[in-house]
Amino acid sequence: MYKGYLIDLDGTMYNGTAVIDGAVDFIDRLNEESIPYVFLTNNATKTQVEAAQKLLDMGFDIQPETLYTSSMATAAYLRETAPGASVYVIGTDSLKGTIEASGLTVTDSDADYVVMGLDPGINYEKLSKGTLMINAGARFIATNPDKKFPTEKGFVPGNGSLVSVLTVATGIEPVIIGKPEGIILESAVSALGLPKEDVLMVGDNYDTDILTGINGGVDTLHVNTGVTPKEDVEGKTHPPTYMIDNLKEWSVR
């Protein structure tokens, strides 16, 4: 069996504020067997601590350092490729704080980079500023490409849907940091300290979670509790390594 796990959050552990049946038990079983795991999430609206606190409040027995978000990966990417750069951020205060903590300058004008994460307060002014800066030469980065994500009420627009506005307006495709891109996967696998063949990627979204594993050489487990329906997954040319309806079905040993 696998010696380490990369685990998605939205649609895999919870939908909005509702815990998915079997998710807490799954984490408890990993803890009991001392199997390491990293929560690999495209959600860039929260800091590592905030994302961990949501899980703790839901009854998950986890440590904050097990969280690796697309906002953390974005900040790391910018820190390595453009230290000290100025960044216009379309996103939450948590995303801005994560980027600032990496030594980058967050600004509202003449930025070197435009970084876009899911912003519940999105408006025309923010989209216009981003468009103007990209057209003026700023590089365009998207924390993640998710077109939608599940809540307790149903599916709502994700960051990818909003990123498409700037892509259409500028003709520029962004550098995507989150799943299914390899940038975030390599960082998470490194955190586990295991070879890829010993790691399993667990998620509900074929286009992000499962393709992350397929593209990056990591086995995948699709759980039919979120974005991609079972019927759609079954029709894919490159299927996941495994598919289950509920995490209760999966044995960690």
Indicate which CATH number applies to the domain containing 132. Answer: 3.40.50.1000
Indicate whether 167 and 184 sit together in one domain.
no
**Within-domain flag for 76:** no
Which amino acids are annotated as binding site, given as ranges? 8, 10, 179, 204
Structural domain contains residue 126? yes
* Co-location of 125 and 184 in the same domain: no
Give me the phi and psi of 40, to 5 degrees please. -105, 100
* Structural domain that includes position 231: 4-70+179-249
Residue where a domain terminates, one of 132, 148, 176: 176
Joined tokens for residue 73 = 């990966």
Burial class (CB in 10 A: 0-12, 13-18, 19+), 31: middle
Reduced to 3 states (helix: H, G, I; strand: E, B; else coil), residue 70 is helix
Residues 161, 95 within the same domain: yes
User: Which pLDDT does position 136 carry in this prediction?
Assistant: 98
**Cβ atoms 29, 252 nearer than 8 A:** yes
170 with 94, same domain: the answer is yes
Instruction: Please give the chain's pLDDT, 253 residues, in tens.
Output: 899 999 999 999 999 999 999 999 999 999 999 999 999 999 999 999 999 999 999 999 999 999 999 999 999 999 999 999 999 999 999 999 999 999 999 999 999 999 999 999 999 999 999 999 999 999 999 999 999 988 889 999 999 999 999 999 999 999 999 999 888 998 899 889 999 999 999 999 999 999 999 999 999 999 999 999 999 999 999 999 999 999 999 999 8
CA distance 184 to 69: 8
Q: Which amino acid is at 210?
A: I
Residue 62 sits in the same domain as residue 116 = no
- Residue 124: other Cβ atoms inside 10 A: 8
Other CB atoms within 10 Å distance of the CB of residue 30: 19
Which of these three, 176, 201, 226, is where a domain ends?
A: 176
Among 176, 200, 235, the domain-final residue is 176
Residue 77 counted as domain residue: no
β 18-19/14-15 pair status: antiparallel
* Residue 147 in tokens: 């077109």
**Judgement on whether residues 93 and 52 belong to the same structural domain of the protein:** no
Number of H helices, E strands in the chain: 9, 15
| Annotated binding-site members for Mg(2+) | 8, 10, 204
Residue 221 belongs to a domain = yes
For 15, the 3-state DSSP assignment is: strand
Length of the chain equals: 253
Identify the bridge partners of residue 151 per DSSP, sorted by sequence position.
154
Active-site residues, by number, are 8, 10
The verdict on 103 and 117 lying in the same domain is yes
Is the Cβ–Cβ distance between 174 and 90 less than 8 Å?
no
Residues 183 and 169 occupy one common structural domain: no
On whether residue 37 sits in a domain, the answer given is yes
- Domain assignment present for residue 47? The answer is yes
Q: What is the pLDDT of residue 187?
A: 86
Question: How many domains, the chain?
Answer: 2
Residues whose CB is less than 8 angstroms from the CB of residue 101 and which lie 6 or more positions away in sequence, other chains included = 75
The tokens describing 14, both together, are 């919870």
Same domain, residue pair 164 and 195: no
Same domain, 148 and 114: yes
Cβ neighbours of 237 (radius 10 Å): 4
Residues 33 and 59 in one domain: yes
Query: What backbone torsions phi and psi does residue 136 show, to the nearest 5 degrees?
Result: -85, 0
Q: Do 89 and 169 reside in the same domain of the chain?
A: yes
Domain annotation covers residue 78: no
Q: What's the pTM value of the predicted model, to 2 decimals?
A: 0.89
| pLDDT given for residue 120 in this prediction | 94
Domain annotation covers residue 198? yes
